[in-house]
């Protein structure tokens, strides 16, 4: 579905410039540019997402800031080291929807999900599923704050249930001491300041069709 008045080409170029500037990685522009025709063909609001195989969480989080602020983002110490945070991987549902562990892709119809503040995460996930939507992953949450830092706001932070590691923890992005923080909460515990972000769909580069030899 198209969005009247939305200039997908201009927004794609803005996000590419933003990635290069915020992450201080000019090489990312070349990696994501092949997605531009996909964004233009959808003509709907989107996020350009770079998977951690190309941009690690440890590299990305310190580059995030709140809107109008300069304090760098952090990974919560309760993750107990790099191996723990790395264990939270993209759930299969997102991969079947078009997410990728290795290549940049687009996410469409993103909602911050503040309606789920003070709702048990498991219940929020069930509601999102009933609506035919999927939760955002950690990488997608990072993309949201990278391109739209104003959406990470006081009492309107969000869980990222699209990344799990098999236990009862749900990753989340919130504000701590004036900076973004990647933390986690228990799937059975509601928080008045944590909603659950979700997406309508995803798309990557089209898979080339093999040319038959005959």
The DSSP result for 128-166, as a single string, is HHHTT-EE--HHHHHHHHHH-GGGSBTTBEEE-TTEE-S
Q: What is the model's pLDDT at position 210?
A: 55
Closest CA to 176 of 90, 78, 83, 86: 78
CB 90 within 8 A of CB 162: yes
120 pLDDT higher than 70: yes
80 pLDDT higher than 90: no
* Average pLDDT over all residues of the chain: 94
- Residue 153: count of CB within 10 angstroms of its CB: 14
pLDDT average, residue stretch 98-112: 97
84 pLDDT higher than 90: yes
For residues 19 and 3, what is the distance between their CA atoms, to the nearest angstrom?
24
Per-residue pLDDT of 140-189, as tens digits, reads 999 999 999 999 999 999 999 999 999 999 999 999 999 999 999 999 99
Q: What is the model's pLDDT at position 82?
A: 83
Q: What is the model's pLDDT at position 1?
A: 40
Closest CA to 139 of 193, 30, 59, 22: 59
Confidence of residue 85 (pLDDT cuts 50, 70, 90): very high
Per-residue pLDDT of 176-214, as tens digits, reads 999 999 999 999 999 999 999 999 999 998 765 455 544
């Amino acid at each position: 579905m198209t969005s009247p008045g939305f200039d997908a080409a201009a927004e794609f170029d803005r996000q590419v410039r933003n990635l290069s500037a915020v992450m201080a990685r000019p090489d990312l522009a070349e990696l994501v540019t092949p997605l531009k025709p996909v964004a233009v063909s959808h003509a709907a609001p989107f996020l350009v997402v770079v998977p951690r195989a190309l941009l690690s969480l440890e590299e990305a989080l310190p580059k995030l800031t709140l809107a109008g602020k300069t304090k760098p983002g952090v990974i919560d110490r309760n993750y107990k080291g790099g191996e723990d945070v790395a264990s939270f991987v993209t759930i299969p549902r997102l991969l079947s929807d078009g997410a990728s562990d290795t290549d940049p892709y687009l996410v469409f119809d993103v909602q911050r999900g503040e309606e789920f503040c003070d709702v048990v995460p498991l219940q929020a996930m069930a509601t999102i599923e009933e609506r035919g939507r999927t939760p955002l992953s950690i990488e997608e949450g990072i993309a949201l704050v990278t391109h739209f830092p104003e959406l990470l706001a006081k009492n309107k932070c969000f869980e990222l249930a699209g990344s799990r590691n098999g236990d009862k923890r749900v990753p989340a992005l919130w504000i701590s001491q004036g900076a973004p923080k990647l933390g986690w909460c228990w799937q059975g515990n509601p928080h008045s300041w944590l909603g659950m972000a979700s997406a309508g769909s995803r798309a990557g580069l089209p898979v080339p069709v093999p040319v038959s030899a005959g």
